[in-house]
Copies of this chain bind each other. A is one copy, B any other.
Amino acid sequence: MPKQGTSLTIADLNGDAPCCPPLARGRVPAETAAVLAPAFKALGDPVRLRLMSMIASAEGGEACVCDLTPAFDLTGPTISHHLRTLREAGLVDAERRGTWVYYRARPGILRQLAALLTVEPATGP
């Protein structure tokens, strides 16, 4: 179960716990905002958004850095830096297998963020 009492961390948002009712449903508490905002911030860069998409949509659910890097006009260290940002935001996991490192999306967090942004289909009855 998630820890209680002390400060929340992004790691507690893995499952489908009802931590985050829709943003338009009621005020997001300051503590919750402090936990969620870094995830949106990590998504707030075009390069990271594309990286996230490439990882999440890769077949097998994972992508190798060696496949990610050549898709951008950026140096290896820069891509590595962006991947670290995504990892520290709790959006992806990394695993080394031999020479290569594979990144994998964390669907739980993505679901939480999507749920937070969910809006009723229409304002009608």
Contact = CB atoms under 8 A, between A and B. Distances in A.
Contacts of A117: 110-111, 113-114, 117
A49 to B, nearest CB: 4
Contact of A57 (B27, B48, B53, B105): B27
A48 B28 CA distance: 11
Nearest to A118: B114
A44 B37 contact: yes
Given A111-B119, A114-B114, A34 B56 contact: no
A54 B41 contact: no
Interface residues of A, number: 40
A53 B37 contact: no
A97 to B, nearest CB: 20
A24 interface: yes
Which residue among A40, A105, A113 has the maximum number of chain B CB atoms within 10 Å of its CB? A40
Given A41-B44, A113-B117, A49 B28 contact: yes
Interface of A: 23-28, 30, 33-34, 36-38, 40-50, 52-54, 56-57, 61, 105, 107, 110-111, 113-115, 117-119, 123
